[in-house]
Amino acid sequence: MAYSDKVLDHYNHPRNVGSMDKSDSAVGTGMVGAPECGDVMKLQIKVNPLTGIIDDAKFKTFGCGSAIASSSLATEWLKGKTVDEALTIKNTDIVNELALPPVKIHCSVLAEDAIKAAISDYKIKQGADVAALAQAH
């Protein structure tokens, strides 16, 4: 299969590879997929508590080149966005940007799921913090 130049670029030079502290309340972690399916994505965001803007994003992906590229691209797009802006990223945007063929669309879906899961984790943590604060009062 021929890969697009953009997929190759992300595969050869993946952006923002790494892990952040899962227990940090400013960090949201999303892990989607399953080893049996051949794809697992872990995507993390770190949100600035003062501005509500995603300061940092990291990923690690087990999967094909298109899955790696989709998650690498997602981390690039997440940085600098507010959490609500991040929720507007759609899998079709990733498909278009990376010129993914139809058999690889599920990779972009997985990346969108990972973004949503990371944001959801972050929001739950914030809610938990508020609850904890309320309880303390």
Query: Binding to another protein by residue 17, rule CB under 8 A?
Result: yes
Closest distance to another protein from the beta carbon of 87 (Å): 18
Q: How far are the Cα atoms of 43, 107, 110, 122 from residue 64, in angstroms, in the given order?
A: 16, 8, 12, 27
Q: Does 65 bind another protein (CB under 8 A)?
A: yes
Residue 89 CA to residue 106 CA, distance in Å, equals: 15
On whether the CB atoms of residues 6 and 97 are closer than 8 A, the answer is yes
The reply on whether position 76 binds another protein by CB under 8 A is no
Q: Taking the complex as a whole, how short is the minimal distance between the CB of residue 137 and another protein, in angstroms?
A: 35
Q: What gap in Å lies between CA 44 and CA 103, rounded to an integer?
A: 26
Of the candidate residues 105, 113, 116, 120, the single one contacting another protein (CB under 8 A): 113
- Residue 102: CB minimum distance to another protein, A: 12
